[in-house]
Amino acid sequence: MKDLTCRVLVVGGGPGGYVCAIRAGQLGLDTVLVERAALGGTCLNVGCIPSKALIHTAEQFHAATDTASETGLSFGKATVDMGRNVAWRRSIVDRLNRGVAGLLKKAKVRVVTGEARFLDGKTVEVTDGSSSYRINADDVVIATGSDPVSLPDVPFDGPVLSSTEALSLTEVPDRLVVVGGGYIGLELGTAFAKFGAKVTVVEAGDRLLPQYDSALTKPVADRLKSLSVTVHTGTTVVSVSKTGGAVTLQLRTPDGTERTLEAEKALVTIGRRPNAGSAGLSELGLDMAGPAIAIDDRCRTSMRGVYAIGDVTGEPMLAHRAMAQGAMVADLLAGKKRKWDVRAFPAICFTDPEIVQVGQTAEEAKQQGIEVKVSEFPLAANGRAMTRERTDGFVRVVAEKATGVLLGIQAVGTEISELSAAFSIALEMGARAEDVAATIHAHPTQGEGFQEAALGVMGHALHI
Ligand code: FAD
Ligand code: NAD
């Protein structure tokens, strides 16, 4: 057993942990990062990056096979070699893995590979095959992420997949049941539908993506319909049986009746659970917020010198939140004055069309007693959207009625995620509707929809 000491110990090398370690290293703090698997965590290896690569190729495949297009284009018979597609996605992941390793090295972070186990709030033991370490640190950052939740008594194996196995499929299943119509289910389910799978979504809630308002999710539901995806809302899974390479699901529908669904694969995406109970973390006796480690506005846990960041601290489980928390904690450890004071937190669902939400919704603002003005600009009136054959969606601005200060922005549209930066900057900088309206937005872009929605707050949109 080798003994190591350091100023900062980060456990978990996902976007939260590796960003924290890089920043701590940049700030001159002697830092050790422990990771049991590949650097980059869920996001880089089995999450954000490979899923967006899958979505990209699925869209290309679909465009090549779309007979409804009026553009005059027609392609030969499109085929996909999913094995090669998986290999291509892995090559992107490998490149990014190497990039993260290089950045950590440049920041002089020592990376220890292996499974960490907490002995106390300052010490972990790491084992990796034959080598083992005892690492003692002044400050510890827990960044152990989250794991997919399975259906009760239905482990992920054989035809029952979590997102990780779904991203490794080398064949497009003929029939795919997606249990859980949230972020992952709809992002991956849409991609497989575009590759030609017959997709059925089973969602327990009364509508898809319940975290967004129904106007935002309607274009997504309409698109699923046009892709022949069947959606059962208000429906729960009673039992799952695996037979050979296939799977049979017994469902309970909203009226209480039962129905059977058969498919080659079932993708279960009913949420993720913070990885807060293993690795000796339970024995630390940290205060919890449900299944997550409770933190304050500086990511401090209930134990002095122990911080927690990212998915292990619960919702929203997003990579950019983990990264921002990681960078903040490193600054705090270096003695800088920081706290979580975020006005514009973007959330994007990479469905088709994409949904973006930044800041407050009208409902949230009203609940705080703020009188709001809401303006929506439909992409049906946006030239750029027309040139891309996709006019479904809108940009919506929520502003304080008295001052015009922007409180929140929501949008749904094809590749509208790229506008999230503009939305966030406007909100974070305290822009008023008139600031956005007076900013020249290049033509023809979907960004003009943002300007028009801001003009709408002032009562004089130009192109509607
Ligand atoms: P993780 O990325 O989970 O990293 C935790 C790391 O800790 C892992 O590498 C793990 O191996 C390591 N670890 C755990 N325990 C130990 C231990 N005892 N010893 C050593 N190492 C340990 N978010 C977005 O913002 N945008 C997206 O588009 C997006 N798409 C997603 C798509 C999918 C399919 C999935 C599954 C997730 C997606 N997410 C997305 C969510 C995003 O991946 C997570 O929010 C993000 O990875 C959380 O980062 P983290 O650092 O907290 O944890
Ligand atoms: P989710 O919370 O987005 O969706 C889970 C869905 O499953 C919900 O709609 C819920 O009502 C439904 N559900 C729960 N139990 C069910 C049951 N027994 N039967 C049927 N439906 C059931 O969770 P997810 O899609 O697994 O994603 C996990 C996390 O990963 C998300 O919270 C998100 O933060 C993150 N993520 C983000 C992105 C992104 O930013 N674009 C993409 C993927 C994942």
Ligand 2 within 6 A of CB of 453: no
- pLDDT the model gives residue 460: 94
Element (H, E) at 362: helix 362-367
Query: The tokens 């998915």 sit on which residue?
Result: 311
Decide if pLDDT at 129 tops 90. Answer: no
Ligand 2 within 6 A of CB of 185: yes
Domain covering 4-147+273-333 in this structure, CATH number: 3.50.50.60
Ligand 1 within 6 A of CB of 125: no
Ligand 2 within 6 A of CB of 55: no
Which one of 36, 39, 42 would you pick to mutate in the ligand 1 pocket, going by the greatest count of ligand atoms within 8 A of its CB? 42
- pLDDT the model gives residue 268: 98
pLDDT digits (tens, 9 = 90+) for 412-444: 999 999 999 999 999 999 999 999 999 999 999
Q: Which tokens hold the place of 455?
A: 């003009």
- pLDDT the model gives residue 404: 98
- In angstroms, what is the span from residue 334 Cα to ligand 2's centroid? 36
Instruction: Looking at the CA of residue 316, tell me the nearest atom of ligand 2.
Output: 34
At 135, the pLDDT band (50, 70, 90 cuts) reads very high
- In angstroms, what is the span from residue 217 Cα to ligand 1's centroid? 25
Contact present, 374 and 366 (Cβ < 8 Å): no
Q: Name beta bridge partners: 307.
A: 141, 300
3-class DSSP state for residue 44? helix
**Helix extents (H) in 66-196:** 82-106, 163-166, 183-194
Domain covering 160-270 in this structure, CATH number: 3.50.50.60
For the chain, helix (H) and strand (E) counts, in that order, are: 14, 24
Cα separation, 345 vs 285, in Å, equals: 30
**Counting ligands in written order, which one lies closest to the CA of residue 147?**
1
Decide if pLDDT at 2 tops 90. Answer: yes
- pLDDT the model gives residue 76: 83
pLDDT digits (tens, 9 = 90+) for 355-406: 999 999 999 999 999 999 999 999 999 999 999 999 999 999 999 999 999 9
Ligand 1 within 6 A of CB of 199: no
Ligand 1 within 6 A of CB of 326: no
pTM over 0.85: yes
Cα separation, 24 vs 332, in Å, equals: 9
pLDDT digits (tens, 9 = 90+) for 37-72: 999 999 999 999 999 999 999 999 999 988 888 888
At 411, the pLDDT band (50, 70, 90 cuts) reads very high
Residue nearest to atom 3 of ligand 1 (CA): 145
Contact present, 306 and 121 (Cβ < 8 Å): yes
Instruction: Looking at the CA of residue 350, tell me the nearest atom of ligand 1.
Output: 28
pLDDT digits (tens, 9 = 90+) for 213-238: 999 999 999 999 999 999 999 999 99
Ranges assigned E (strand) in 205-293: 230-232, 236-243, 246-252, 258-263, 265-268, 272-274, 288-289, 292-293
Which one of 187, 272, 315, 357 would you pick to mutate in the ligand 2 pocket, going by the greatest count of ligand atoms within 8 A of its CB? 272
- pLDDT the model gives residue 68: 80
Report the catalytic residues. 443
**Counting ligands in written order, which one lies closest to the CA of residue 309?**
1
pLDDT digits (tens, 9 = 90+) for 136-167: 999 999 999 999 999 999 999 999 999 999 99
Ligand 1 within 6 A of CB of 350: yes
Contact present, 418 and 449 (Cβ < 8 Å): no
Beta-strand relationship, 31-35 and 146-148: unpaired
Same CATH fold assignment for domains 4-147+273-333 and 160-270? yes
Instruction: Tell me if the domain spanning 347-458 has CATH number 3.30.390.30.
Output: yes
At 130, the pLDDT band (50, 70, 90 cuts) reads confident
Cα separation, 293 vs 276, in Å, equals: 7
- pLDDT the model gives residue 74: 86
Which one of 270, 315, 417 would you pick to mutate in the ligand 2 pocket, going by the greatest count of ligand atoms within 8 A of its CB? 270
Contact present, 271 and 204 (Cβ < 8 Å): no
- pLDDT the model gives residue 118: 98
At 286, the pLDDT band (50, 70, 90 cuts) reads very high
Decide if pLDDT at 243 tops 90. Answer: no
* 444: preceding bond cis by omega (within 30 degrees): yes
- pLDDT the model gives residue 169: 98
Residue nearest to atom 14 of ligand 2 (CA): 270
- In angstroms, what is the span from residue 41 Cα to ligand 1's centroid? 5
Ligand 2 within 6 A of CB of 205: yes
Task: Provide the CA 442 distance to its chain's centre, in angstroms.
Answer: 29
Contact present, 263 and 292 (Cβ < 8 Å): no
Cα separation, 259 vs 232, in Å, equals: 11
Cα separation, 257 vs 263, in Å, equals: 20
CB count in 10 Å sphere of residue 254: 11
At 309, the pLDDT band (50, 70, 90 cuts) reads very high
Ligand 1 within 6 A of CB of 45: no
At 244, the pLDDT band (50, 70, 90 cuts) reads confident
Give percent above pLDDT 70 in the chain: 100
At 75, the pLDDT band (50, 70, 90 cuts) reads confident
Mean pLDDT (the chain) is 97
Give percent above pLDDT 90 in the chain: 95
Where along the chain do its domains lie?
Answer: 4-147+273-333, 160-270, 347-458
